[in-house]
Structure 1
Amino acid sequence: MAALILLLIIAMYVLNGLAFMRLSKLAGRVDLGWMAWVPIANIIQQLLLIKKSGWNIFWLLVPIANIVFYIIWQVRLLQAFGKHGAIVILAIIPYVNMIYEVLWIVWGFSTQTRYTLPISGYATYDFKA
């Protein structure tokens, strides 16, 4: 049973990484594709896709604010790809949040998914600012 759960976790990680690589490509940010595979960098990738600075990741260290900012960022990420922001409810309900992850994988491989934010005016991940 433990081996099956481990296999499921690895499969979800790989599919999620591939999906977010494709979503970065849809957003015109091929340079961010590698971030989908690095645990903390994938959050920065999502921030950059919604045109927020990578430095915003430090809000995740602040209790209570981390939950609020996570929800706001996920709503904006959903809206950036033309999805309804209310879907984020799936992400905050225990055990149901797996459906949210599967939806991102489906959207990542779907030919119907479109990036709706303007392509210009991106935040950068260059921390030398």
Structure 2
Amino acid sequence: MNKTLSTCGRKLVRRLIVLAALGLATLCAPALRADIKLDVLKTASGSYSNVTVFTRTSTHLSFSHAGGVAVIKLSEINADSIAAINGSNTASAAAGAVVLNGHKSSATEPSYTPAKDGARLHSLTTALTANPLLKRTLGSVSRNIIFAVLGGMLVGWLLLCFCFHKICKKAGAEPGVLVWLPVLQLFPLLRAAQLPLWWFVIWFIPIANLVAQVVWCVRISEARGKSPWLGVLLILPVTNLFALLYLAFSGTGASGEKTAPAPFGTPRPAAA
């Protein structure tokens, strides 16, 4: 168990280092130089293969390699590797001096001349995205985001269908399995609101469908024994969510009995 946690911890730390290096390198894009590629970069603590240098400062060197991304001090780099980076075979690089643009600058004078920042940033992006560890990290993050979004959409859809199921049951209409299916759930919802089933067609006619939705909101509120004004809240954004939950989980009207509306088209009784 402890071994598994330790392995997961190391992987997480490596991924965080890769992402941090990517962000740092992007922020430092104006200071990037032309790519320097080395087969091997030797340091005091080991060596790196397939090296691509993308950032140099007066004290540190940032690069990608076969195993990831690293940032090390210039003082830790082997003299031959420093000479290779500088494009010089002289031993002066071992003292910490870096040869740039044909002249030697000391480690305390970061006198670099920026050139073509766009090309440098492109080179950095290419080097980082070609790194297998970074690809796996970004791929994993992308998949997690996609799964989270799809999972949230599924939970939201199931909650919506469950509310419709409760509303139909409390309105005295059997919802059946259709209430869980997209589009077809309109049939049990129309039945619960005492509306003709052929109104299903109106739902797909522009402008007319807006009128149909308003009528349905008012009728379903009446079918649940609530005030028709609740249908207004069911139409408006934001309030429609709370109104839907209220219709689904609240009791019936004040009398405790269902007061379903008369079938659509039935004439209202004349006033006394």
Normalising by structure 1, what TM-score?
A: 0.68
2:187 to 21, 28, 44: 44
CA apart distance, 1:81: 0.8
Per-residue CA deviation, residues 65-122 of structure 1 (Å, 9 max, x unaligned), is: 11111101111111111223233344444xx24x413432343233x2353217x97x
What residue is the counterpart of 1:21 in the other structure? Answer: 165
2:229 to 86, 97, 100: 86
Matched to 1:26, the amino acid is K
CA apart distance, 1:51: 1.6
Calculate percent identity across the aligned residue pairs: 25
What residue is the counterpart of 1:64 in the other structure? Answer: 207
Q: Distance in 2 between matches of 1:63 and 1:7?
A: 31
What residue is the counterpart of 1:126 in the other structure? Answer: none
Q: Distance in 1 between matches of 2:190 and 2:221?
A: 12
- From the superposition, tell whether residues 68 and 41 of structure 1 become closer, same or farther in structure 2 (CA, over 3 Å): same
Normalising by structure 2, what TM-score?
A: 0.36
Q: Distance in 2 between matches of 1:28 and 1:83?
A: 14
SS of 1:54's equivalent?
Answer: coil
Per-residue CA deviation, residues 17-65 of structure 1 (Å, 9 max, x unaligned), is: 22222222223333x2322201112222111112222111111222211
Bigger RCO (CA 8 Å, 6+ sep) = 1
1:116 equivalenced with 2:259 (yes/no):
yes
Matched to 1:45, the amino acid is P
CA apart distance, 1:3: 5.3
- From the superposition, tell whether residues 3 and 47 of structure 1 become closer, same or farther in structure 2 (CA, over 3 Å): same
RMSD of aligned C-alpha atoms? 2.9
5+ residue gaps, structure 1, are 122-129
Q: Distance in 1 between matches of 2:233 and 2:249?
A: 20
How many aligned residue pairs are there?
Answer: 116
Q: Distance in 1 between matches of 2:183 and 2:243?
A: 21
5+ residue gaps, structure 2, are 1-144, 264-272
CA apart distance, 1:6: 4.0
- From the superposition, tell whether residues 6 and 106 of structure 1 become closer, same or farther in structure 2 (CA, over 3 Å): farther
Q: Distance in 2 between matches of 1:83 and 1:5?
A: 35
Matched to 2:252, the amino acid is T
What residue is the counterpart of 1:103 in the other structure? Answer: 243
Larger helix fraction of residues: 1
Q: Note if contact 1:21-1:34 (Cα within 8 Å) is conserved in structure 2.
A: no
Q: Distance in 2 between matches of 1:13 and 1:86?
A: 26
What residue is the counterpart of 1:127 in the other structure? Answer: none
